[in-house]
Amino acid sequence: MRLLGLATLVLALAAACGGNGDGGASQADYERQLQALPDLFAGDECAVPDPVEALEARQAALAEQIQALEALEPPEDVAEAHAALLAAHRAQADALDGALEQVRALPDPGEAETRDAQAQAVAEGFGAAERAAPDPAALAAAQRSFGEAGYTLAPPELEPDEYEERTNELVAEISPIALADASTMADLQAEAERVGLELVETAGRLEELVPPAPVAEAHEHLAIGICARGQELLLFARFGGVEPDEPAETDALREVIATLDPFFEEAEGDFRDRGYEVAVPEVEPGR
């Protein structure tokens, strides 16, 4: 999710567009205002593999989105759909509050003494978060209501040339994926944290793009492949269950880096088959 300036952006759009003098904004203005809200009906997104940190980020983004929705005045014909959309977001916020309470009550993975115990604590945290997640049915119902009224709320697809340019720029920023030399496990974990955060952030920025329909699945595979590799590195960095002063054991971790994720292979083939010149990240396992 794009976390910053959301409410400010929508308020500025609302002021610029104005109302139609007949109970809310015009359909075109209202559509533009909602299209400016990222992830309005989105599902999962790339997040750090720390349940507390991930839930807090979702909570902050959702609070901004609710504020932005409250600032809008919908046209009369979708006033009920807008109210349902806002209610669904508020219900999600309540569910996230409950999820955070559950997760914070669990043992801290960082205090576990073995890798198995740390992995179990991380899994329990995400399990609690998943169980407390809201039912997406309310969001789906609101989305159907807008569609039935003839409203298009999804942001427009990027033109192929712009999509290629923006995607290749993001891939180039993280390519090649490599770890710098490290002498101790502490140094290696710090390097894994640095690279992992970079990959998760890049995957999130890719998810903000709206690809042309022919490469939507390829784009999703590209983002998932980058996200998964970043999350694996962050899990090692934060919950590796290792002694920090031990000599660095790079082979297993670099094998994670070097593995050409099947998502990358599928994305590369799909882009090529559809005539798009979009790169996937290169890797340098020897570094």
CA atoms within 13 A on the CB side of 145: 16
pTM for this prediction: 0.76
pLDDT in tens, 9-39: 333 333 434 444 345 678 999 988 888 886 7
At 192, which amino acid appears? Answer: A
Nearest one of 41, 56, 261 to 152, comparing CA atoms: 41
At 37, which amino acid appears? Answer: L
Spatial separation of the C-alpha atoms in residues 250 and 286, rounded to whole Å: 9
Residue pair 184/246 in contact (Cβ under 8 Å)? The answer is yes
Question: The tokens of 6 are what?
Answer: 């959301």
Spatial separation of the C-alpha atoms in residues 121 and 260, rounded to whole Å: 29
Give the DSSP H or E segment for 262. Answer: helix 262-273
Spatial separation of the C-alpha atoms in residues 214 and 198, rounded to whole Å: 28
Spatial separation of the C-alpha atoms in residues 151 and 139, rounded to whole Å: 15
- Burial of 86: CB neighbours in 10 Å, binned 0-12, 13-18, 19+: middle
pLDDT in tens, 142-201: 889 999 999 988 888 999 999 999 999 999 999 988 888 888 888 888 999 999 999 999
Every domain of the chain and the residues it spans: 6-148, 160-273
The residues facing 184 across adjacent strands are 247
Residue 236 CB coordination number (10 Å) = 22
Residue whose tokens read 């039912």? 135
Specify the 3-state DSSP secondary structure of 178. coil
Residue pair 270/215 in contact (Cβ under 8 Å)? The answer is yes
Residue 173 CB coordination number (10 Å) = 12
Q: 79 falls in which pLDDT band (50, 70, 90)?
A: very high
Spatial separation of the C-alpha atoms in residues 86 and 265, rounded to whole Å: 40
pLDDT in tens, 89-145: 898 888 888 888 888 887 777 677 776 777 777 777 777 766 656 567 888 888 899
Q: Which residues contact 92 (CB under 8 A, 6 or more apart)?
A: 62, 134
Q: Measuring CA to CA, how many Å separate 249 from each of 127, 174, 190?
A: 30, 23, 13
